[in-house]
Each structure stands twice: as C-alpha cells, then as structure tokens.
Amino acid sequence: MHRNPPRLGRVPMEMLVHRPHLEREFGMSRITGTVMDLTDSAARTVLRMEGTAEFFSFPQRYALGVDGDDFADTFRTYLNRFLALGRDTEGGLPQLGQFTASSPQPHIEQLRAVASLFSGETSIPLNYLGIVHDNPSSADAIRAAEADLITVTERAQRIYGAAWARVMGLARKVRDGAGAPAPRLRVQWRDPATPTKAANAQSVMALVSAGVLPAMSEVTWELLGYDEATITRLSAVATRAGAQATLAELATGAAAPDPEADALAGRVDLG
C-alpha cells in the first residue's frame, strides 16, 4: 500500500455534526427510525390508492332479468360500445344498475395522518409536506408552525458555523498554499425566521432611533436586506452628501461676519 500524505497537513474534510453530545460525538441523524417507518407507511398508502384507482374507480354494474349469453363480452361498456340486452323469457325488460365506485378519500385521510406524525417527528410544518388546508393560515399561525423548525435551525447553525469556517480555511490553503497566513474566518448566517421586509425595517429603525445602529452605515443597510450593489450606491450617495454639507458649512462660515476680527481691526485703526 502506498500512502500520499496530504499537502495541507491534514485531511481536507470536515464533519457537519447534527446535535452532538457526550455519548454521541458524531451527532444524531435527522433520518430516525420513526422517520423511515412513516416514509414506508406513506409509500404503502400511495400504492394502495393507486391500486384502488386502477381497479375500483370504475363502478361495478349489475343486471337483473337477463340471460348469461347476453354477456359474452363483459367489457363492451368500457370500450365505448352499446350493450344490447334482450327481453327475458316472460317478455320483461332487464333492470340495469351500478354500485357506488370506491373513493380514494380514506387513503387521502390516512396520508394526512401519516404526514401529521411525520411533521411531529421532524418539526417540519404540514404545509411544507404538501398538506393544503381549506382555510388559509394566518401569519401568526404560520409563525407558530415554524417555531420548532426555526429552533432546530438555530441550534444547527451554532454547530455548523465552526465547521464551515474550517472548510473555507481549507479552501484558502488550497488556493494560496499551506504556508500562507490564514486569517480568522467567521460564518455569518441569515435569520432562519425569514421575517417580512416591513417587520425587519421596523426592527432596524427602532435600533437606529435608540442609537444602537448608525443611520448612514453599511451595517444598517445590510440589516435592511439591501444587496451589495445597492449598498455601494448608497455609500457613494452618502459620501457625496457629506462632502456637499461640509462645503456648505465652510462657505457659510467664510461669509459670516467675525465680531472679534472686526473689534481687533477697530483697535488697530484707533492706534
């Protein structure tokens, strides 16, 4: 066996661990045994629903007062043909009817139940699983449904942040070489709660009013959700506005009379 030692001094791999603890340092998988069982149950439910649609969606028909010879081809009615039936031995007309076809609604309800159990196990809201309610949910109801998933995401961000920073450090070493100076990297995550633009703007403006954030700052514009191009344009506009304000102050100061200078000039003339 021939081994090639890594040029970076270590194996260029990082482990993204989900919910590590002392007993399981490699974390816990999101695909638990319950998730696999519910997935199998959902697949079986869909398969049964397909079977029902294939064999029991056509209503079963019946005929009273006819002879068996009239049904030499039982599929005539499904091939868009007429089914001609003669009178019985007593001259009476046959009675035709059909049973109610099977509905897929029981399978749909079972699939909803499985989706509810899957949502409880994984913290994924039902609307993410394709379960559409008749009445649209309110904004508060949507936030309440996403609260548990947001908590899971925030915990994962704290663990994944250091690993992703090390990944980018390895990428820089691959590009610049193992001996290149490695700056300190830090991962910046977006808010997993995905607030609306109005709520985000209101929160930032409250911080600006309280003096926590400067009004004309790239940090403030970034928190408002502006992209890099827009922030660059705003910075240029703010720089021009500041320069114009400075020039205006200088011009105003030069044009205003100076009482001390006038008094000094008067004393010189008197002398």
Dist. CA 94–CA 85, nearest whole Å: 7
**Per-residue pLDDT tens over the stretch 106-158:** 888 999 999 999 998 998 888 888 877 666 667 777 778 888 888 888 888 88
User: What residue segments make up the domains of the chain, in order of their start?
Assistant: 33-135, 137-193, 197-255
pLDDT the model gives residue 201: 84
pLDDT the model gives residue 43: 94
Average pLDDT in the chain: 78
pLDDT the model gives residue 66: 65
Beta carbons of 65 and 95 less than 8 angstroms apart:
yes
Q: What is the pTM of this model?
A: 0.64
Task: Please count the other Cβ atoms lying within 10 Å of the Cβ belonging to residue 28.
Answer: 12
pLDDT the model gives residue 270: 46
pLDDT the model gives residue 34: 93
pLDDT the model gives residue 28: 87
pLDDT the model gives residue 80: 46
Tens of pLDDT, residue by residue, the chain (271 residues): 777 777 777 788 888 888 888 888 888 888 999 999 999 999 999 999 888 887 777 777 766 766 666 566 554 555 445 455 666 667 677 777 777 777 888 888 999 999 999 998 998 888 888 877 666 667 777 778 888 888 888 888 888 988 898 888 888 888 887 777 777 888 888 888 877 777 778 888 888 888 888 888 888 888 888 888 888 888 888 888 777 777 677 667 655 565 655 555 555 444 4
Q: What is the 3-state secondary structure (H, E, C) of the chain?
A: CCCCCCCCCCCCCCCCCCCCCCCCCCCCCCCCHHHHHHHHHHHHHHHHHHHHHHHCCCCCEEEECCCHHHHCCCCCHHHCCCCCCCCCCCCCCCEEEECCCCCCHHHHHHHHHHHHHHHHHHCCCHHHHCCCCCCCCCHHHHHHHHHHHHHHHHHHHHHHHHHHHHHHHHHHHHHHCCCCCCCCCCCCCCCCCCCCHHHHHHHHHHHHHCCCCCCCCHHHHHHCCCCHHHHHHHHHHHHHHHHHHHHHHHHHHHHCCCHHHHHHHHHHHHC
pLDDT the model gives residue 47: 92
pLDDT the model gives residue 198: 79
pLDDT the model gives residue 118: 93
What lies within 8 Å, CB to CB, of 228 at 6+ separation is none
